[in-house]
A = this chain, B = another copy of it.
Amino acid sequence: MSRKRYIQAINEALFEEMERDENVILIGEDVELAIFGDARGLYERFGRNRIRNTPICEATLTGMALGATAAGYHVILHMMFANFVYTGFDAIANQIAKMRLMTGGQIEIPITFIAGYGGGGSNAAQHSDSAHPVLMNLGGINVAMPSNSADAKGLLKTAIRSRNPCFFLEASARGGQMGEVPDGEHLVPFGKAAIARAGTDVSIVTVGSTVRTCLDAAQTLAEAGIEAEVIDLRTVVPLDEDAVLASIARTGRLVVVDESRDRCGAGSYIAAIAADKGFKSLKAPVKRVNIPNVAIPYAPGAEAEVLPSVEKIVAAVNQIGARRRAA
């Protein structure tokens, strides 16, 4: 184990996987100088045939990633901010998410997309969106959203070894967060949630940038005598329904927290699963703490107002009457 920043763990995964497999290449705008830090040093190590700055043309870059798989490459396409996923959305939604089905399974599509998502930095509406809901709706794309350094490394390595397209979404606000990362080969499987904190009174299901917030909320709740269980989904496609259902079975109460807009967001989907397969376990309404149906404002106070927070999570838990169980 060693302590590393979230962004360093990503960088390590890229290094290791590019060392392991020479068919892995990384392209994107400004990846050579590695402005997010995740690609730092790769250009110096692997050179221009493995790491390459592209022109600004997201619509083509996404389609090119698909084309390059025909030549046997695993393409890592760095899309910078999740908002630019919309710019390159056509080939993602119409080609990559559908191509394997449309060809009757002739092909595998080993592409890893990287994009930073989420608010908190006064980056305003065009640099603060979370794109995972629209990606989740496409059907043919895996979506990994690590909440900590170890998962950042392990999930990215899994993505790069997978034969399927995957979005690896970096929590923009978490890049500097420290965490323990196992030494040596460390892979985190897709579709296996983690119990980030065990608890008996309420389940808080979350992913990515808000896991930390939920853990902080759980701490606050604990001080008030409520033991919250925090489930970190790690990947939203595939999604570990069993973990969610098992947790609700234990606690009977659910608050879903994530950093995406509410309408057709990730939180709504998880709530829907609970309302169906978990219904028998539920003792109270399923609450959602996420982003209201607005674009992200610039001014810090106005931005904070629309982001998930410890206060909102605690309030949601209290609203559904989670109480300390009799011992």
Chain B residues in 8 Å Cβ range of A86? 89-90, 92-94
* A235-259 contacts to B (CB < 8 Å): 237, 239
Q: Is the CB of A286 within 8 A of B264?
A: no
Looking at the complex, which one of B98, B136, B276 makes contact with A287 (CB distance below 8 Å)? B276
* 9 residue pairs, one from A and one from B, having the closest CB atoms: A275-B275, A271-B272, A279-B285, A268-B272, A98-B295, A86-B93, A275-B286, A89-B89, A98-B125
Chain B residues in 8 Å Cβ range of A262? 269
The smallest beta-carbon distance between A57 and chain B, in angstroms, is 11
How long is the Cα–Cα vector from A59 to B57 in the complex, in angstroms? 12
Query: Is the CB of A48 closer than 8 A to any CB of chain B?
Result: no
How long is the Cα–Cα vector from A89 to B266 in the complex, in angstroms? 20
Query: Is the CB of A318 closer than 8 A to any CB of chain B?
Result: no
How long is the Cα–Cα vector from A180 to B49 in the complex, in angstroms? 64
Q: Residue of B at shortest CB range from A139?
A: B293
Query: Is the CB of A133 closer than 8 A to any CB of chain B?
Result: yes
Q: Residue of B at shortest CB range from A256?
A: B272
Given A86-B89, A272-B286, is A133 in contact with B137 using a C-beta cutoff of 8 Å?
yes
Interface residues of A (CB under 8 A from B): 58-59, 83, 86-87, 89-90, 92-94, 97-98, 101-102, 124-126, 129, 133-134, 136-140, 237, 239, 260-269, 271-272, 274-277, 279-280, 282, 284-288, 293-295, 297-298
Q: Mostly helix, strand, loop or mixed at chain A's interface?
A: helix
Chain B residues in 8 Å Cβ range of A138? 261
The smallest beta-carbon distance between A313 and chain B, in angstroms, is 15
Q: Is the CB of A271 within 8 A of B276?
A: yes
Q: Is the CB of B288 within 8 A of A279?
A: no
| Chain B CB within 10 A, most for which of A58, A86, A126 | A86
Q: Residue of B at shortest CB range from A295?
A: B98
Looking at the complex, which one of B92, B93, B102, B237 makes contact with A263 (CB distance below 8 Å)? B237
Q: Is the CB of B264 within 8 A of A137?
A: yes
Q: Is the CB of B295 within 8 A of A286?
A: no
Q: Is the CB of A297 within 8 A of B264?
A: no
How long is the Cα–Cα vector from A207 to B271 in the complex, in angstroms? 20
